[in-house]
Amino acid sequence: MTKPLGLLVMAYGTPRNLDEVLPYYTHIRRGRAPSDEQLADLVGRYQAIGGVSPLTQITDAQARGIAAILNSDGGRPVRLYQGMKHTAPYIEDAVAAMHADGLDEAIGIVLAPHYSHMSVGGYQKAAREKAEQLEGPKLKLVNQWHLEPAFLDILTSRVREALAACSDPSKAVVVFSAHSLPERILQMNDPYVTQLHESGEEVARRLELKHYRFGWQSAGQTGEPWMGPDILDVLRSLKEEGYEEVVSCSQGFVADHLEVLYDIDIEAQQVAKELGIHLVRTRQMNDDKAFLQALADAVRKCERQGV
């Protein structure tokens, strides 16, 4: 009997409670503990969204959903492993588990649509290095899936739905955003910016949008310049241009988590309120079946290219 294909679903990870914020933040900062002020700021943001982020539950539902689709599509059966970038079970733990279970081949996918050396590339490096160290399983990695047709379909429908919640959709402007990264990626021939534009432009084309912009959100405090314009500045400029209704589409994220529930729903909403702008956010993908189908499609495509 053919052995199952390992399915490695990788995601960011989130602290399970407020006590775990310090080790989590320290891991994100590659082992450097944050200052007391930075820690208090982050704890405050988690408290503002209810104490914990729903990301773990959503990632789990997404991963199980993709595996369920793949195990009922008539293709090679998969065995699911979840690996997080910044919390246990780490990506390395998941690869070690696949190795211990005797799997020969696996496919890895990151729950983030656009590729950057600093984001998706980091997940892939962790998985690849562990598999090489253990001499198996043989890994094939999905690089990006921002142009997967089923993903574009649902992204388009989410923007359409948000526009419908505006009092005058023809005058509303859509802002497509993703997590900012340090500006130095622009010198690294990194595809991240191009990919954000590709998926946003495709949605704009399908909906024949006349008014849309691109922006960045959730920039870190690292002392180096991060890519802009930040979404808060985009809102200010849009107000100056005369817009009164804005649809925020955080297309770089696929779940309700801190960067959406705080950065958009609290911080950006506050700025919009001060500016007198009606801000409507598109619903995140979460465990929507149509979205999970898009990811399952990306996995099967990667498999066909030969593991």
Residues that bind ligand FEC (CB under 6 A): 12, 14, 25, 28-29, 42, 53, 55, 112, 118-119, 179, 181, 220-222, 252-253, 257-259
Find the shortest distance in angstroms from Cβ 295 to ligand FEC: 14
Q: How far is the CB of 4 from ligand FEC (least distance, A)?
A: 26
Compute the least distance from the CB of residue 24 to ligand FEC, in Å. Answer: 7
Q: Which residues, 6+ apart, have CB-to-CB distance to 230 below 8 Å? A: 180, 215, 216, 217, 219
Minimal distance, residue 56 CB to ligand FEC, in Å: 9
d(CA 239, CA 278): 11
* Residue ranges in 71-208 assigned as alpha helix (H): 91-100, 120-134, 149-164, 192-207
Measured from the CB of residue 276, what is the shortest distance to ligand FEC in angstroms?
28
Q: Closest Cα to residue 123, out of 91, 82, 80, 88?
A: 91
Nearer CB in complex with ligand FEC: 67/126: 126
Q: Which is nearer to ligand FEC, 53 or 293 (CB)?
A: 53
Whichever of 129 and 168 has its CB closer to ligand FEC, that residue is 129
Nearer to ligand FEC, 48 or 275 (CB): 48
By beta-carbon proximity to ligand FEC, the closer residue of 221 and 305 is 221
Strand partners, 140: 107
Q: What is the CA 189 to chain-centroid distance, rounded?
A: 21
Cβ closer to ligand FEC: 53 or 62? 53
The residue among 35 and 237 lying less far from ligand FEC, judged by its C-beta, is 35
Query: 3-state class of 211 per DSSP?
Result: coil
Q: Is 50 exposed, middle or buried (0-12, 13-18, 19+ CB in 10 A)?
A: exposed
Cα–Cα nearest to 216, from 114, 124, 85 = 114
Nearest approach, Cβ of residue 171 and ligand FEC (Å): 31
Name the minimum Å distance from CB 291 to ligand FEC: 15
CA distances from 134 to 5, 10, 97, 121, 296 (A): 17, 19, 11, 20, 27
Q: Which is nearer to ligand FEC, 85 or 130 (CB)?
A: 85
Q: What is the dihedral of CA 170, 197, 59, 161, to 10 degrees?
A: 10
Give the relative orientation of helices 21-28 and 36-48 as an angle to the nearest 10 degrees. Answer: 120
* Least distance between ligand FEC and beta carbon 71 (Å): 25
Which residue's structure tokens are 């859509």? 174
Q: What is the DSSP letter of 87?
A: S
